[in-house]
Structure 1
Amino acid sequence: MAGHRPYGWAHEGLLPALGAELFASMPRRDQRTKGMAYLQGLLEAEGRKSIRNIAALFGGDAIEQSLHHFIVSSTWDWAPVRRALAQYVERVAQPQAYVVHPLIIRRAGEASVGVERRFVPALGQVVNAQQAVGVWAAAPDWSSPENWRLQLSPRWLADRGHRRQTDIPDTEVPESLGRCSVQAYQELIRKLRLPVRPVVMDARETDVAAVAGWLRAAGTPMVLRIGGTQRLTVEEPGYQHRGVSMTAQQVMSLVWHMRRPGRRPGEGPTSPRPVVTVRVRLSPAPARCEGRPDDTLVLMGVAERGHWPAELWLTDLTTSGVGELLQLASYARRVERDTTEVADRVGIRDFSGRSFAGWHRHATLASAAHVVAMLSGRVEPRLLGGTGRPAATGVVTRGRVGPGRPAAAGVAAHGLARVSN
């Protein structure tokens, strides 16, 4: 593929090293070459990361047809590529949690896999879109997507014509957003063989009790953002409303006047942000948790700019301090920021094909491009697969992709040390 632009200086050491690991599962050399070209194109193509724009870096129509076949109808399996990417991130960045994050991908037509009219609460409107769920590895100063799942509706999966035209596997079944989210996480643990870590998730548009039941049955610590209407039963010792079922908003309104900011009895100093925690149970408890002695949860209310509560979080990390819980909750905002500033800019929403496999292959390589963008200039030379190339400049400054920017701070092992509240 002669005539393409050279790698940007900042990622020329990282990109070949990562590519060699990512594409090791591909049996043919031409597949590995196309994989590298597509990954490079996601990082360097101008504007929308369409196959046409990516091919323009390398010479035009013939390359476009070749890359289209590579993404849409080739035989390579994306699962080993995702596993290699996740293992690479594990080695160089040491994530602290997983964030399950939904992604709405707007589409003009109805032919692409999973596209339909949907009401999106965050937008307050009905849009024509795909609904995907990403599972992101996260730490305080970075995040990257490691697994993706498309939510497919009963209407889509019942239509044999749609299934045939988009090559949806027979194994795909209708799922709620909550079930799709948990399945995406479980795939990460089982198929990609990653360790169990706390799952952080905005569960306000899901059945919270069902999600909590699935995660607890899998032995996964959870930090779930919930809405004010979620019903809970207060279990705080000495609390006058103990045993009473009420909404999360009512719980926090009642305890606000009694609060000791950022504290439970016996806990350390207060937080600069007003925070209240209270022990609760889901009401009614999930079937998989009901009657268990460990089904007590902690409801955490967080104030913001005088609004109480601005956020409500439900967790089974009942022995963790407020600082630790706030740190975990902050990873959701980290992922939102990195989606906008990095993932969108390397084309996570830009695949325009119809097929189920094509969407997953594109999402996998866009995730790899995200990792290159996030880590260029941030990893130590010894971790670049033996290239020895020092990273003096990077393509990321505060998450913004672009050439010639100063290097961001190095990625360190960020433990969940308690924050001084």
Structure 2
Amino acid sequence: MNPAQLQAAERRLEGFLGALVPLLGRVERQTQAGLYVRGLLLDGARKSIEPMVARLPGADVQALRQFVNQSPWEWAPVQAALTGLMLDRLLPEAVLIIDETSFPKQGDQSVGVARQYCGALGKTANCQVAVSVHLGTDRACLPLTWGLFLPESWITDADRRTAARIPETVTYQTKGELAVAALDRVRAWGVGPRVVLADAGYGTSHEFRAALSARGHPYCVQVAPSVKGWSEAPAPTGPPPYAGRGRPRRRVSRADLPEPLALDEIAATLPAEAWRTVTWRQGTKGALRSRFAQTSLWPSHRWTTTRALPTAPVTLLIEWPRGANAPTHYWLADLPGEALGLRRAVRLAKGRWRIEQDYRELKDELGLDHFEGRSWPGWHHHVTLASMAYAFLVLETVRGKKNS
């Protein structure tokens, strides 16, 4: 926003902040929070503290730096209040979208930094990686909460933990576990069970899908083609007849079942009439459409891990664009109580596009990746304040559409 736009929206911004910043406690913190959010909203090439202060009348570098890096305010209550505010005002029908984003870094002191896959650069590099949960619809999408991934090298290094002020209660969690913990947080903040969308980095894990089901979350998640299952309910032939020697075998073994197929193998068995062209939304260059097929799948993972046969199928959705040599994407969907039609399944599967827009705008417009602090509290303070700024922009955008 340029200064004139921010000035025109000042009354609305004051009301928006007034619902959130009292949770920070001291009046000085509330003042600094307002300055920080305004600094993120104002146009500028860099959104680190010194460039923001140069654009903010009355701001002080040391005061703003102390507020975001050292002040002991808790970020979770602010994220909870922001979640409730946006849920009430804007997105009662939204889905929950899980993804991760990376922050390339120099040096080894920023909390969580390590050589790992960096999506922002498309290669292994020195970076931080964060998992986030977003509330999204066709109209809008915004982050609710964040989890910073800490590699095991950080968890076991007492000196680095102390320097970065990582709480003793923080233990190693995979990215999937961070995502589930984030879902648990937003559930505690009043976001009831909703359809969860995620890419194959999360959806391929049967532990992740089982955690969603255990929490009552319907889901539509992308999976790798190597996932295996049966396209018909597996019917064991049963143990062989007793031969009269030794103990009779009573448990069903893997040999008593038909061999499960990988999803790409199942796709190859579908008849031509199973494939239909579906348009899921209008893009900037016209209608977005592709060919899809939908069938039932009994995943085999529970058999290999617990020797329990699947009792109910999930929906397997496959995308095979015209002209492609093979299917390009696979999703598993489990929406208990809903007869999932193909068009609805496709719209859900393709619903993750907005989270990429969130990350892009948060970084390009609001400086999500411009934070120069190194501590655990500082990082969480920054992403919380950036989420506040982004939520305000979402409200302004929706308001503008309503008035146009």
Q: Does 1:310 align with 2:364?
A: no
What is the rounded CA distance, in whole Å, between the counterparts of 2:148 and 2:138 in structure 1? 27
Q: C-alpha offsets along residues 295-349 of structure 1, whole Å, 9 cap, x if unaligned? A: x211101234533422211111262222222222222111112321345421122
**Which structure 2 residue ranges, 5 or more long, are not aligned?**
235-256, 279-287
Q: Secondary structure at the match of 1:98?
A: strand
Output the TM-score relative to the length of structure 1: 0.80
What is the rounded CA distance, in whole Å, between the counterparts of 1:55 and 1:155 in structure 2? 35
**Which structure 1 residue ranges, 5 or more long, are not aligned?**
264-270, 380-406, 412-421
Q: C-alpha offsets along residues 8-42 of structure 1, whole Å, 9 cap, x if unaligned? A: 15532431111001112122111111111100100
What is the rounded CA distance, in whole Å, between the counterparts of 1:194 and 1:32 in structure 2? 26
Q: Does 1:127 align with 2:125?
A: yes
Contact 1:298/1:314 (CA < 8 Å) preserved in 2? yes
Quote the residue 1:404 is aligned against: none
1:161 CA drift (Å): 0.7
Taking the TM superposition and a 5 Å limit, the aligned residue runs for 1:187-198 are: 187-190=185-188, 192-198=189-195
Quote the residue 1:50 is aligned against: 48
What is the rounded CA distance, in whole Å, between the counterparts of 2:107 and 2:175 in structure 1? 22
Q: Does 1:368 align with 2:385?
A: no
1:320 pairs, out of 320, 332, 340, with 340
Alpha carbon RMSD of aligned pairs, Å? Answer: 2.8
1:260 CA drift (Å): 4.6
What is the rounded CA distance, in whole Å, between the counterparts of 1:34 and 1:121 in structure 2? 32
Question: Moved runs in structure 1, 4+ residues, more than 6 A?
Answer: none
Q: Secondary structure at the match of 1:274?
A: strand
Q: Secondary structure at the match of 1:31?
A: helix
Quote the residue 2:311 is aligned against: 293
2:292 pairs, out of 262, 272, 275, with 275
Quote the residue 1:17 is aligned against: 15
Instruction: Supply the AA of the counterpart residue of 2:79.
Output: R
Contact 2:101/2:120 (CA < 8 Å) preserved in 1? no
Quote the residue 2:147 is aligned against: 149
Paired residues, number: 368
Q: Secondary structure at the match of 1:89?
A: helix
Q: Secondary structure at the match of 1:276?
A: strand
Q: C-alpha offsets along residues 166-217 of structure 1, whole Å, 9 cap, x if unaligned? A: 0111111112222222222222212x33222111001336751111111111
What is the rounded CA distance, in whole Å, between the counterparts of 2:392 and 2:306 in structure 1? 41
Q: Secondary structure at the match of 2:159?
A: helix
Quote the residue 2:241 is aligned against: none
CA separation of 1:28 and 1:288: change in aligned 2, threshold 3 A:
farther
Percent identity for Structure 1 against Structure 2? 26
Greater shift, 21-30 or 8-17, is seen at 8-17
CA separation of 1:26 and 1:273: change in aligned 2, threshold 3 A:
same
User: Where is the helix percentage greater, Structure 1 or Structure 2?
Assistant: 2
> Which one has a bigger Cα radius of gyration?
2
Quote the residue 1:358 is aligned against: 378
Q: Secondary structure at the match of 1:84?
A: helix
What is the rounded CA distance, in whole Å, between the counterparts of 1:221 and 1:276 in structure 2? 20
Output the TM-score relative to the length of structure 2: 0.83
What is the rounded CA distance, in whole Å, between the counterparts of 1:215 and 1:326 in structure 2? 20
2:267 pairs, out of 235, 252, 263, with 252
Greater shift, 17-26 or 126-135, is seen at 17-26
Contact 1:277/1:299 (CA < 8 Å) preserved in 2? yes
Instruction: Supply the AA of the counterpart residue of 1:273.
Output: S
Instruction: Supply the AA of the counterpart residue of 1:179.
Output: E
Q: Does 1:111 align with 2:129?
A: no
CA separation of 1:110 and 1:225: change in aligned 2, threshold 3 A:
same
